[in-house]
Each structure stands twice: as structure tokens, then as C-alpha cells.
Structure 1
């Protein structure tokens, strides 16, 4: 925000230069971006009166001028200009002067005649416009002679540009900066005059009705101005607007812009002729509605845009810009002043969506104080009366349903000193807070603070400490050693189990990878996920970095495949990766998504299905789970239908593992087989038991019996082992597979499988009779359940 220093001085005494003021304000928390002083580089240029002009004896195009610069003796300057005459007052750069662009002037000779300087044009002073300049700059005849040209032309004006943060909308105004200036310098500031007397006996309440249909408008105030005279604003107002970067238009529009810059409250003026229904309605636009704003651009609105309507016809975009259909014209005779307060988030979103960020929207989007509305309206009416721009009507329409009131805070002064590392008295604290309009009363050690409604950034005691610190001076606060209390933290159960998983994976030779949780919608097709899969029901990112990061992932297959593909593209012959990450499963619209913790393992290069299965078995073992079961899975389209299995613990699914479908590998540019496992860690951790249990060494010997059976080729080894253990009961200690054979002497479609079964009883030595009984039971179970034949 640009604040002209001359405007700032209307409300607060400033007796230091602009640069020093900018430095002090920066130290007190108001960040200054730039201090610009017009004509700052111009040195030793004064106003001079041409007393005599004579021709140059040796040059037809040059003349010799004797000029009066307010000294006893005249100064001689030679020039080639032709547009001046005796008696004219011109700018004169004397010996040692510096002009615009750093040009230095020294006395010298022109064609043998001494010249003690140079008379200047607008171009040399840096104030020429776009039009070419011919000749010297001729000043008004009543200009005082011998004064600094910057004073004569008003070139010594300074403007300070501030970076206003989103938590300080009160500083988006000249008065707000004046308040900060007064607090910083320890002086007082004055509010502008706001008192006026209605000159028109007509009451606006009898001529206009206002209705608010949406809660996005917190307050709406309207007043009427009759017998309006549209004309240019006075020079002082135009000068302040221009210095602040706003183009003057006419007195009524300039008043609304002046008040907005002065107090930080946007306003708008409607031509009363265009409000044909005599009713203003604050409501949302219709989807697809077309509307032409003051910049003469037609915009397409939707139902999220809050508008000001004349009955059904839109005449302004609330908090953003007025409409071309109700602008103030040269023949406008009656004006309706609007001053309102709108919900900031809605203004910011719609301003961005419409590509229309204005001085008004930049203030509303920061949640300005609704109590500013009346101050701004009173000030605008005062200026109308002061400028003779019209007659203010009686009455005010003011709809303000939820009054915003001042906050009360109680803060211990001892806390302030402990927090800041200072030793300030509570009286000093009160003084600093009172400077900022934070009216404070002291009760023993407690500061009772009344926080004005325009300070939306002050809510807790630490905020009060910050206000005291910045006015006291950050540079005065000494360095202290922070007082901390060391506490020994402990990892929760999940983190401990994560560590076990990570150690297990690293121990198996895998490297940990990390991927983004937001992915591209294209990954579903790349991972061969079916069109009707629930995994495609995703959560979209509101402000994505791009399409590749626009949704939250519901599967980690794509992330792992991208990592494997990156390794493969760099000619890594083998890759062994794992990732512990989250997937996000969408719930009902008004509920947060389910976040599942997933262990993903990805391998390729000199591996097969048994490698990925072995890794998963080690994971289960690390979690204290003796055995998991694996059931064939052929419906997962991302995996090879014949080399995929689901992992179960009892009847609960833990995840899936297997070979990735060749089409998926092709989509990622991988020409070798890849094997993945996805394990639901939340489900696995619920089954985990990390408590190490002591088991005594066996006292009694084991008995081992070998069996070789003939089964159908389709029978799974896992089913055979399950049948053996179930039939053998507690006496079976271990089942070891040691041979699988197909070939000669084995019928087509059959396979021979050999096991070593270890029997043991913890309480006694087994007899052959006891072992034979259980062994026979196992053989019968194998024959009955899976059709096995003993070889």
C-alpha cells in the first residue's frame, strides 16, 4: 500500500524525513517496501528570473542571459533555448548542481563566453510527460525567485510503500498507518472530521428499501445524496489520490476512493436513476449470469458470487466492483452511497475466479472491521458537504444483525516479562498498549485490556506481548538463554512397530523409498485398475500443483511402479524397494477420509514369486505372527492372475502380493517381471504381538517320519500342510517340505510331494504306537480331504 507522507501528516505530526520514518516503522513491525521521494536526486537547482538577454558574439544560435537567483550579483548563463524572454522565471542549475539521471553541472565556457550553469527544461528535471519538450520550463510569474526548485514545484514529496500482512487489514488505510506512526514516535494521531448536517429534508428510508438474502453480507448501510453536482475534485484531493496510485475521476467517485484509502473501508456510489425498483437486494448471482463491470468487460457469474441487485437486475459485484449499468455519470443528480461488510473468504475466491482483484476486494478479503462502515459513511457525507458536491438526505438504512464487540483480555504483566526476557514495569506496558488504542487498566499485576474491533489479530496473551515488544523496541530486548525443560519422549506403539518393519526390510536387503501422497488420475489406467473399481472414488486436491498431483492416492501400486521404473530406466539390473505410506479412502461428503497405513514392497531382477512371499512371511514373523495363510487371487487386474495371492491371518485379509500384470509393466516401460506386496499395516498391527515369550528347550526327544504322497498338480502345498497340522494336532511340531517331483513314473497331471513330519510331546517320550496312531490319522486325512495317494 502506498501512503503519501503529506497525507499522513494530516493526522499525525511527523518531524523526521521519510526515510528515517520508514526505518522506524519497519522496526516497530510495519514492513516498509520502499520510500520514494520525487526529485530526490535534484541538487542546487533554484528559481531564477531572466533580467537581460544578449546575443552571443561568436554564435548565432546562442544567447547570453543575466539571471537573478536572489543574490546581490546576477549570474551569467549561455543557452541555445529560444522560448524565453526577459522577465521570465525559469529553473536554473548552478555550478555543482545535479539533475535528473545524475547529470552534473559545472561552470565553463561556450564559444569563449563564461557560463555559470544551465537553465532547465522539464526533461532535465525528470518531470516531462510523454510529449516531447521544446525549450526551457517557464514558471508562473508569481513564483518566488531564488528558492529550491523542488519546493517551487512540489518535487520534495515522499511516498512510503508498505507490505501489509493478511492479519493487519486495519493498516490498509492512511489512518491505520497514522495510528502506527503515532505509536512508534510516541505522539498523538487525529481522526479526520466526520460531522455533517443533512441539508435535504427527504428521508432515504421513504425512497429506498434494502434486503439482505445471504449471510455473506454482515452489514449494509445506505445514504442518499440529492442535488449532486458532478465536477472535478479539488486539487488537494486529486494530489493525494494520485500520490497513492489512484486516478481521479470526478468528485463523487473520488470521495468514495478517498474514504477507502483514508479509513480502509471500501464504498460505492450508485446513480439513483438506475435503481428503478427503489430496492437494493444483496443476493447470490444465477449460474451462467452475464454482467458487465465498470471496466466494460462482460463476466460470467455463478451462484458463489455475491451481488448487489436492483430487484432482480445485478448492479454490482459485492466487495469487488460496481456495474457499468449504474455508474456515476456527468449528469447524475442523485446518488446512493453504499457502505457494507462482506465475508472475506468468499470475496477472495470470487475475485480470483473472475480475474478481478481490486483495491476493494484486497481489503474485504482480509476481513475488515464491520464497525468501520459507519465511520466511512459519515466521512463520505462530510466530504460531500465540504466539497459542495450535493445535499445529504435525512436518515440512514443500516442492517447490522450481529454486532461485533470489543474483546477483553487479562494478561499478567509478570508473564510479559518472562516471555520477552525484559524487566518492564506494568506502567510502561500500559503506556505502549495505550499508544496502540489498546486501552489498558492495571489491577495489581494484571493488565485489563480492551481490544478494539479493528484489531482482529489480537486474541491471546502472546499477542499482547508482541505488541509491547514492538513498541518498546526489538533492538532494546537483550539476548537471553531460552528456559526449557527437557522431557524424555517415547515412541508410541505404532512407531515402534514401524521401526521393526523398517529394520526387517533393511535386514532383507531392501531400500526405503518415499513417494507423494497425491498422484495423477492417469495412474489408474497405468496400473490397470478397472473402471468400476472403488479405488477410483478419490479425493481431489483443491489447489493442486498440476494434474500430476491433483488427487489423493487410494493405492500405492502406481507410486511403487514409478520408483521401479525410474531405477529400470537408469539401467539398474535389480531393485529392492519398500515404502511405508498412506492411502486415502473417501467417505461420505461431510466426513474426513480414512487414512490407511500401507507397507508396499516392490522388487525386480533375479527374483520370482517365492522371493516376495518370503519377504511377506518375514514381515509376519517380525510382528510375532507364527503363520499366515495365502489364498490365490485372480480378480485383481493389476496383478498376474495366476501368480497372485491374498494374505490372511485367521480370517482377516492383511493384503495382497504377487507378480505385476505384464500390461502394467509395459505401461511403465519395464521389460522384466516385477513383484509387489501391499500390506495393510493398521490391520497387521492389531494382530501383532511383539512381546518375546520364553520357551523352554524340549526335554524329550522328537520322532521324525517321512511321507511321500501323490496329488493332483492343482493342489496347493499350503493346503497339504494345513491338513497335516490339523490332523496331527499338538503332537506335530514341524512340517518340512523337502521334495517336489514330476516326471518319469508320475502320471500326467500329478506331482509327488515329500514331507518330513516332526512329532514331539512336551511331557513324555513318544512310543512308536503313539506316533503310528497319529501318523495314520494324517494319511487318512490327506486321502479324504485332498485325494492324496501314499507312494
Structure 2
């Protein structure tokens, strides 16, 4: 909702409160003001000019040479390219030295040999959007009414010396979708009275009922329909002040009758519609549900096919409007209209919302009917519009209103005790303070002992329960004024569970290692749902998916992380490391799927890049494995984690390993298969995914400290010849098992598979460290254990020392 600061002053005294201060107060009271726009920002030196003479430019077919009175001693010559400039017009003139939006400065110039001392401006050149400029001036300059005086400030005449507040209204605050509703709100905030528009309506002796009959078949959809007849109207432009107020609210002016209906919509929040009475083709208005296949051509010249879900206004036989959404072209008010039938009605939100959605017609009227209008303002809005048509269109308002009224609306009555109010707010408000706030809101409040009973005006349909009253008190009292207290008691809430603390540590560790956290959809496509799944169950299909790409609950996080890498790679961010902790969804035969939290990561591109040192290190298997090993070490699980060579769909057959915790598979790590990398246009990419809940819920032994060894260790290196298909991890396990208590470490430091090696064999070198914390080992003791290790290697793996 766009709220003109100057227009708002018609209803509430805003003296001493700037637009920015008012925006701050409104925001603090619970309605967010998304911005304050200064309409004349960056504009100066623009006045009203009177075109005294206009002749064709001698050297240009599309330029005019104009002599313009700008209120100074002598008129000035201005060259103008607008096709609609003419003698006698009152126009906006940017004088020499003026500044227009975009810091465009006007200077004295020569155009095709003729001097130009200024610029005759269009509304677009004064900062207005083309969509709100009246159609007759969309391709040229704007022409003022003759009542203005040359030399006056054109910006002030156009009401551009104004500020517009943009309210970000939540669906429950439909009462502020109009100027009077905002005035009630501002009046309550500032503690000032609200002034209401005066309705000076004089009716003729002739009865409106002689011209029209109203019937309603769909009473639930349309419990109130009121029609007034205005005769002898003269269609023309609406007054300038009305046009400028509509434009400030984002609505394009059309003509006096249509502009008045839009003006009342903004002022009262009550949509109205004006029919050309003589085009109706009957003296009857019938409101009913549309028939299947029935059609109507709406004001936008589109042919619409209707269904029984849609409410229509008819002339007794054929539709002349889609109720509450848009009128029909067959009854449109145009330049020849002389009799207007004015509709003021209360429509239920459901059929309006249905028609608006089905036909893609989201109008200012449908928005208000969908959210709910004040039923007690319907007739008043119609009376106000009729009075304005009499004043500004020269119309004669016929006596009476023809209506159908089955509307039964009672204001909500809500009671609350002071004890409950103060308990909820943690305050000690008095009855006087509370009733004062309700009085500012224009709510009728009655007090019985400590109970306050409030009769809520029908304009505030959002107030229905005690909690609504508490919210009104809190926001008008001022959220900033609610006292601050600390929780009391022996145990305070807010502590993380051990699982939550560990999960937070995991995230911090991975971020410290250089990975970025990603948050991706939990939904995926049927094509990707089973890719990289640790546990393949029947995929879970959504009943009403928003698209085929988001139709299944995911079984793995990795496909989403690969999408993240692809998206960033297409934007030249080809070195990236991301991780995510999130749920996968497993069908367990029950009504709802089981959620299992996983941890996944994906890396691609360069891990280290120091161009000035000539150092570049691309991501590889061991970079990602090292990060994971560091994490499990910090979680005190490194001695319980194993990596076993594995093969898996979508993964590189020789660079993939299962991750085991206490011998149970909890995840995998490896390189994405080259064909998948090519499909995603990725460089070598490495990923892992594991069951985070099993990792974090694994019990750990109490912390055990070991003294620093006082005795030296002995290191022996061995180079073994073994079959190529025997994993290094298997050989290391055999070494550690055979080495017993004296063998403390065994690590790979070399691998050779080149020339002079037997086919199908490899040479792999280990460094073994022997040590006893209680004494110095002798060579004989080490040799004895070392020979036992070599024997075990030969017996269990066929590995022998390289000659």
C-alpha cells in the first residue's frame, strides 16, 4: 500500500512529524514501512509555462519552436520535440539551470540552429513511471488545466512535493489497504483525532428505482448489492489533484468517472464499479454464478470463459462484469457515456479469489475483496462517489439507492482480564492505560471490575480472540517500552544438547578447513533420487509437487551439492568446497518416512593456489580424506574409523572407499565418476557422505593421557612386493596385528609399479616404529618382532621383501 504523506494530512494532523519519523513510528507499532520515497528528489527549477506561440522549426520536421511565458519579465524561446505541443497550453518547463532526475542539468543550447532556453517536460522526464501517466500524455508533454498560473512551481502543482510511504502489510491487516484505515492507525499511534471526508450529496426528485432493478441469486457470495444512478454526466479529465493522488498511489488516471471509483477504492478501501447504463441493454442487474462455458470480454479486451465457480454481474441474461475482479467491455464507461450506474457491493472473498486466480486478473479491487472489506462502509463509499460525480462530472444523482441486503454482520465482542493481559506481557498496566489505548484505536471498551470487554469495529476483522487484544495493547503501548527482565530459577533454558553441540562443532571444523556451508532443497527429481544413496529404499513421491524437478524426497545430499558446484562453475567459480548437514528421507513402511541426518561435502578445482610462488595443488582424494580424518580425530573416533576400497554407481571405480565405524558402513568417500563430471561440466570432483547421527551418537571412551616416552624408538623400513589388488590398508592391519605391543606405528611412504616389476605386482614401502615406554629396546628384541611381522605378511597376503 502506497500512502501519500500530503494526502494523509487530510485525515490526521501530522504537524511536527516528518514522513521519516512517521515511518519509524508505524514500523515500531507493528506495520513495516518498507521505504519512504521522495517524489521530487533531484528536481529543481521546474515551473509552469504558457505556450504563447508555436511554429514549425525551420530546419527540422519533428521539432517545434515555441515562445513560452514562464512568469519572468520576457517570454523565452524553447525548442520542443513533443508531437502534442500547441499554442495556448500550460506546460511544465525546466528553466535554464534546472536539474531533472538523474542529475540531468538543463543548459542554454542551439538545436538545428535555433536557440533553446529550457525544456518543456513530459511526466516521465519529471520522474514518473510510464505505466501511471495518463494515456493521452504517454507519448508527449503533460498539459495542465488552464487554472494554473505561469511561473508557479510545477512540481507543487503536480503534488510531487510529497513523500510516499510504502507499507508492507501482512494479510491480516487488510484494514490498512486504504487511506482511512491508515488514518485510524496513525491517529492511534500519535494520539490524534481522525477527520472523515464530508459527503455533500444532493439528490434529484426522480427515483433511481425507475431506472434499475437489482436481484441476487447467490446471496452467500453477495449479501449486499447497492446501485445508484447518476444522470447527465459529462466525461472528461478528473481534477488535477485527484489525478496526482492516484499516480502517487501507482494508479493511472483515465477519466473523471473511473478516477472517482479508483479514488474511493484508495480512500475507503471499498471497490466500486461504474457501468454505462445505456449499454447495459436492460433495466435489470442480476448477480449469480456463471454458467458452464459462458463467456465475457473484459475491459482488457480479453475473452474469458467462465465456470460455475465464478460470480458474475449480469443484465438479466448476459454477464457485464466478473464480480469484484473486472468489468466487461460491453458496459464500459467511455467519452459518450451520459448515464452511470454505480455499483457498491460486498462480495465474499472465496469466489473473488477463485476468479482472480483462474483468469490471472490480480486487480486492486480483487485484492481488497479477497482480504475482506468493511461491510459498514459499502453504502457510505457509494454515496461519497456519487457526490464526487455530481461535483466533478456534472452529474445528477437520482433519489435513493436500489439494493439487495441480506447481510448480517455483528461486531466482534472480546473480553480479557487485566491479570491475563499483564501476565502475557510481563507488565503492570492499569485499567486506565488499557482503556486509553482502546479509545485511541476507536474501539468501544467497557470495564467490569478487572475485566475489559471490547466491541471491535467491523473494519478490524483481524481482532477475534484475547491474544489479538493483547497484541494491540503491546504494539500501541510500544514494544520498546515493555520492561526487560532476566529469566529466574535454578535451571535456565537454552542449553544445547550434546548432539546439537557436536553438530555445531562439525560445522565450525569444516568451515575452518575452508568449506562453505550449503543449504539445498530436500526435494529432488525421480532421475536423481536414488543417486549416491547410502541406503536405497523406495523413493517417496510428493502428492502435489511444485514441479517434476522437486517431486521426490531425497535419499542423498550429494546430487544437490553437485548442482551447487555446477551452478558456481558456470559463473567462473571453478574452485569450490561445500558441505551440508541435512536430512534424507527413508521409507520404513510406516505412514511417515524416517528422517536421517547426513553430512556430505564436495570439492573441485584448486585446493592451494600461490601463483607468486608457482605453487598449485588441485583437490584430490587425500585432501578430502585428510579433512575427514581431522574431523574424526577431533571427535575422538579416529581409531575406530576404517576406509575400505569400494565400488559404487556414479563414483570412480578405483578412487572410492567405504567409511566404516566399528566395522559398520556409515558412508563413502571418493571421486565422482568421469562420465558424471563431464555431464555436469566439472573438473575432478571429490565427495563424501556419511550418516551424521551415527557418527555423533557413537560413544567415546573417557579421555586417557599417556606420558611422553622417556626411551628412544627404533624405526625399520620395509619394501614389500605384493599383488596389485591387495589394499595398503590390509597390509597395514596385518603389520600392526603381528607387531603386538611393541609396534606403535606403521605408515606407507612409497609405492612403485613401474619397470622391473612382475606383471600384476606392486612395490609398497612401510615405515615401522617400535618402542617400549618402560625401557630401551635391544636390536634382538626388535628383530624378533620384525621377523614375526614379515612372516605374517607372507602367510596372510603373500607379500615378501623386495630383493
Instruction: Decide which of 210, 214, 228 is 2:218's aligned counterpart.
Output: 210
Question: Where does 1:326-405 land on structure 2 (aligned, <5 Å)?
Answer: 326-327=331-332, 330=337, 337-342=344-349, 346=353, 350=357, 357-358=363-364, 360-361=365-366, 363-364=368-369, 367-369=372-374, 372-373=377-378, 376=381, 389-390=397-398, 392=400, 396=404, 398=406, 405=412
Report the CA distance between 1:406 and its aligned residue: 4.6
Match of 1:513 in 2: 516
Question: Where does 1:30-69 land on structure 2 (aligned, <5 Å)?
Answer: none
- Counterpart secondary structure, 2:312: strand
Does the 8 Å contact 2:260/2:385 carry over to 1? Answer: yes
Q: Do the aligned partners of residues 315 and 667 (structure 1) sit closer, same or farther apart at CA in structure 2, a change above 3 Å counting?
A: same
Match of 2:702 in 1: 692
Matched, 1:436 2:441: yes
- Counterpart secondary structure, 2:668: strand
- Counterpart secondary structure, 1:210: coil
Match of 1:617 in 2: 629
Task: Tell me the distance in 2 between the aligned counterparts of 1:2 and 1:607.
Answer: 56
Q: Do the aligned partners of residues 282 and 192 (structure 1) sit closer, same or farther apart at CA in structure 2, a change above 3 Å counting?
A: farther
Q: Deviations over 1:424-472 (max 9, x none)?
A: 86435423421321222335566444433423566252431332459xx
Task: Tell me the distance in 1 between the aligned counterparts of 2:193 and 2:147.
Answer: 48
Instruction: Decide which of 474, 499, 513 is 1:465's aligned counterpart.
Output: 474
Does the 8 Å contact 1:385/1:392 carry over to 2? Answer: no
Task: Tell me the distance in 2 between the aligned counterparts of 1:357 and 1:634.
Answer: 59
Does the 8 Å contact 2:343/2:382 carry over to 1? Answer: no
Question: Where does 1:715-754 land on structure 2 (aligned, <5 Å)?
Answer: 715-719=726-730, 736=746, 747-751=758-762
Matched, 1:308 2:289: no
Does the 8 Å contact 2:352/2:370 carry over to 1? Answer: yes
Match of 2:169 in 1: 166
Task: Tell me the distance in 1 between the aligned counterparts of 2:678 and 2:578.
Answer: 22
Q: Do the aligned partners of residues 312 and 678 (structure 1) sit closer, same or farther apart at CA in structure 2, a change above 3 Å counting?
A: farther
Q: Deviations over 1:466-500 (max 9, x none)?
A: 32459xxx9xx8xx995445969543334432454
Report the CA distance between 1:535 and its aligned residue: 11
Match of 2:599 in 1: 598
TM-score by length of 2: 0.55
Q: Deviations over 1:8-44 (max 9, x none)?
A: 86xx7x8x797879799778749887799xxxx99xx
Report the CA distance between 1:729 and its aligned residue: 14
Does the 8 Å contact 1:4/1:244 carry over to 2? Answer: no
Task: Tell me the distance in 1 between the aligned counterparts of 2:667 and 2:306.
Answer: 45
Task: Tell me the distance in 2 between the aligned counterparts of 1:721 and 1:339.
Answer: 83
Task: Tell me the distance in 2 between the aligned counterparts of 1:514 and 1:312.
Answer: 63
Does the 8 Å contact 2:562/2:602 carry over to 1? Answer: no
Match of 2:643 in 1: 630
Q: Do the aligned partners of residues 636 and 309 (structure 1) sit closer, same or farther apart at CA in structure 2, a change above 3 Å counting?
A: farther
Q: Do the aligned partners of residues 35 and 187 (structure 1) sit closer, same or farther apart at CA in structure 2, a change above 3 Å counting?
A: farther
Instruction: Decide which of 455, 460, 463 is 1:455's aligned counterpart.
Output: 460
Task: Tell me the distance in 1 between the aligned counterparts of 2:636 and 2:680.
Answer: 36
Question: Where does 1:216-615 land on structure 2 (aligned, <5 Å)?
Answer: 220-223=223-226, 228-232=229-233, 241-242=242-243, 244-245=245-246, 247=253, 249=255, 256-257=261-262, 259-269=264-274, 273=280, 280-282=287-289, 292-294=297-299, 296-298=300-302, 308=312, 315-317=320-322, 319-327=324-332, 330=337, 337-342=344-349, 346=353, 350=357, 357-358=363-364, 360-361=365-366, 363-364=368-369, 367-369=372-374, 372-373=377-378, 376=381, 389-390=397-398, 392=400, 396=404, 398=406, 405-411=412-418, 415=422, 426-443=431-448, 447-455=452-460, 459-468=468-477, 482-484=484-486, 490-498=495-503, 500-501=505-506, 510-515=513-518, 517=520, 554-559=559-564, 579-582=578-581, 596-600=597-601, 602=603, 604=607, 605=617, 608-615=620-627
- Counterpart secondary structure, 1:644: strand
Q: Do the aligned partners of residues 338 and 457 (structure 1) sit closer, same or farther apart at CA in structure 2, a change above 3 Å counting?
A: closer
- Counterpart secondary structure, 1:557: helix
Report the CA distance between 1:264 and its aligned residue: 1.5
Task: Tell me the distance in 2 between the aligned counterparts of 1:618 and 1:100.
Answer: 73
Task: Tell me the distance in 2 between the aligned counterparts of 1:231 and 1:134.
Answer: 24
Q: Deviations over 1:241-295 (max 9, x none)?
A: 55743858576x6775464344221123556946999754457998xx986432x
Q: Deviations over 1:591-642 (max 9, x none)?
A: 99969553426364177534543443343343333333434444443x4332
Task: Tell me the distance in 1 between the aligned counterparts of 2:267 and 2:147.
Answer: 40
Task: Tell me the distance in 2 between the aligned counterparts of 1:566 and 1:520.
Answer: 24
Does the 8 Å contact 1:4/1:243 carry over to 2? Answer: no
Unaligned runs of 5+ in 2: 28-32, 47-72, 76-91, 97-120, 122-140, 247-251, 548-556, 608-616, 708-712, 772-780
Does the 8 Å contact 1:565/1:670 carry over to 2? Answer: no
Q: Do the aligned partners of residues 711 and 344 (structure 1) sit closer, same or farther apart at CA in structure 2, a change above 3 Å counting?
A: farther
- Counterpart secondary structure, 1:656: strand
Report the CA distance between 1:383 and its aligned residue: 9.1
Match of 2:132 in 1: none
Does the 8 Å contact 2:503/2:696 carry over to 1? Answer: no
Does the 8 Å contact 1:205/1:396 carry over to 2? Answer: no
Match of 2:658 in 1: 646
- Counterpart secondary structure, 2:442: coil
Of stretches 552-561 and 608-617 in structure 1, the one that deviates more from structure 2 is 552-561
Q: Deviations over 1:122-158 (max 9, x none)?
A: x9xxxxx9669999989xxxxxxxxxx99xxx99999
Does the 8 Å contact 1:411/1:446 carry over to 2? Answer: yes
Q: Do the aligned partners of residues 240 and 631 (structure 1) sit closer, same or farther apart at CA in structure 2, a change above 3 Å counting?
A: same
Matched, 1:680 2:681: no
Match of 1:85 in 2: none
Report the CA distance between 1:176 and its aligned residue: 3.4
Q: Deviations over 1:355-398 (max 9, x none)?
A: x654x245446654456556656877999999753465766154
Does the 8 Å contact 1:440/1:449 carry over to 2? Answer: yes
RMSD: 7.2
Q: Deviations over 1:158-187 (max 9, x none)?
A: 998654451554344454355457655654
Count of residue correspondences: 633
Task: Tell me the distance in 2 between the aligned counterparts of 1:443 and 1:599.
Answer: 62
Does the 8 Å contact 2:323/2:352 carry over to 1? Answer: no
Report the CA distance between 1:556 and its aligned residue: 1.7
Q: Do the aligned partners of residues 460 and 100 (structure 1) sit closer, same or farther apart at CA in structure 2, a change above 3 Å counting?
A: same
Task: Tell me the distance in 1 between the aligned counterparts of 2:230 and 2:184.
Answer: 34
Task: Tell me the distance in 2 between the aligned counterparts of 1:399 and 1:283.
Answer: 22
Task: Tell me the distance in 2 between the aligned counterparts of 1:273 and 1:27.
Answer: 49
Structure with larger Rg: 1
Q: Deviations over 1:213-260 (max 9, x none)?
A: xxxx6x5532455xx453327999968855743858576x67754643
Match of 2:181 in 1: 176
TM-score by length of 1: 0.56
